[in-house]
Structure 1
Amino acid sequence: MSPSAKKTIKLVKGCMANERSAQEGLYKQFYTDMLRLCIRYLKTNDLAKEALNQGFLKVFQNINSFDDKKGELNAWVATIMIRTCIDIKRKELKFTTDIDEAGITENVFVSPAILDKLYAEDLIGMIRFLPDATQMVFNLSVIDGYSHKEISEQLNITESTSRWHLSEGKKQLRVLLEPRGAGHDYPTEHKKGAR
């Protein structure tokens, strides 16, 4: 077993015993990755930090249900963070229910030359510019690998609605990624908010 795995197990056991130092250690270990995850799902850094703190509270309250035989701690914590972000956004999400399935495009081509010029923070800024519901579906599908069936269950929408929002998100991002649009067609406050 690696030293980092031993450290994680020790932190989990400490959190189960409600030890403050173990909770602080776990928080510090996952802070950066989980904040990035929350930033992908929420439009402002303040909301992302709110989700992060609510998510960690849920982690500490439910740490006794974590089973390392069922998966890694990182994935378990990330699932809690994603669900927390969904809960925060749920009241604001407006899903399009008038779906023209013929307009759904599964694959949208983006030139590799364009992608080579972008930084991760530029992509996050562009994703944050998508409408809330489309952004949520895009993140769940493309970034976190959820299926349309899982997304429909998480967000209480149909699978075709999920497909439509993913297709719409890809189309909108393609417009932003085209040479004339890369980094120029979305408001600067969204770009700054991603940093």
Structure 2
Amino acid sequence: MSLFTKKLPAVIKGCKANKRPDQEALYKLFYTDMLRLCYRYLKSDELAQEALNAGFLKVFQNIGGFNEQKGEPGAWIHAIMVNTCIDLGRKEARFNEITSTDELGDEAFVAPEVLDKLYVEDLLIAIRTLPAATQLVFNLSVLDGYAHHEIAEQLHITESTSRWHLSEAKKQLRTLLQPKQTKVTPTENPRKAQ
């Protein structure tokens, strides 16, 4: 059992008693992971920081209802952060209702050699270039594993709109992540020059 795991129940208990040092300790323990999550969901650093702070405020306001027997604190905090990002992202995103799945293209294919060369930062940058609504659906579906009916329910959109945004995200990411083709010009045959 790690020091983190041993310390966490005492920190949670202190947070429930509204003790500032324990609230600060909980914030520091989860800061990096939750900020990374917020960056993944939101287009700007300012919005990500706003979501992080709003999410932790919700954590501290609702920690009295957290039951250690029913779940792990990290998963509970993660869920609050995702919901906070969804709320902020929904304000930024503009969803156009899609009523037919006829507009959906084929599943996106990204060549394995492209994936081998990608770094996490590159992928995050590419995801953040997507339109806000498309980025939000992509994150919920691909990165967090939500089904289209769950995404539709959370974002107040139709399932077909969710599917369209996921398809559009894959299409745009495929374009962004394809290696640049260099044009090869034929060289003169050295034997002809003689």
TM-score by length of 1: 0.87
SS at match of 1:70: coil
CA drift of 1:172 comes to 0.6
Whether the aligned pair in 2 keeps the contact of 1:38 and 1:82 (CA below 8 Å) is yes
Whether the aligned pair in 1 keeps the contact of 2:96 and 2:161 (CA below 8 Å) is yes
Structure 1 gap ranges (5+): 182-195
CA drift of 1:131 comes to 0.6
**Number of aligned residue pairs:** 181
1:97-139 CA distances to partner (integer Å, 9 max, x unpaired)? 1344123247321111101111101101100000110000000
Equivalent in the alignment of 1:192? none
CA drift of 1:57 comes to 0.6
CA drift of 1:96 comes to 2.1
Equivalent in the alignment of 2:166? 166
**CA separation in 2, counterparts of 1:100 and 1:178?**
28
**CA separation in 2, counterparts of 1:175 and 1:84?**
30
CA drift of 1:84 comes to 1.1
CA-based RMSD? 1.6
Larger radius of gyration: 2
Q: How does 1:44-193 map to 2 (within 5 A)?
A: 44-105=44-105, 107-180=107-180
TM-score by length of 2: 0.88
> Which stretches of structure 1, 4 residues or longer, exceed 4 Å deviation after superposition?
none
CA separation of 1:24/1:106 partners in 2, compared to 1, >3 Å: closer, same or farther?
farther
**CA separation in 1, counterparts of 2:98 and 2:144?**
26
Whether the aligned pair in 1 keeps the contact of 2:43 and 2:128 (CA below 8 Å) is yes
1:39-84 CA distances to partner (integer Å, 9 max, x unpaired)? 1111111111111011101000000111233322111111111111
Stretch moving more, 102-111 or 121-130 = 102-111
Counterpart of 2:139, as a letter, is: N
Structure 2 gap ranges (5+): 182-194
1:145-195 CA distances to partner (integer Å, 9 max, x unpaired)? 1111111111001111111111110111001010028xxxxxxxxxxxxxx
Stretch moving more, 100-109 or 141-150 = 100-109
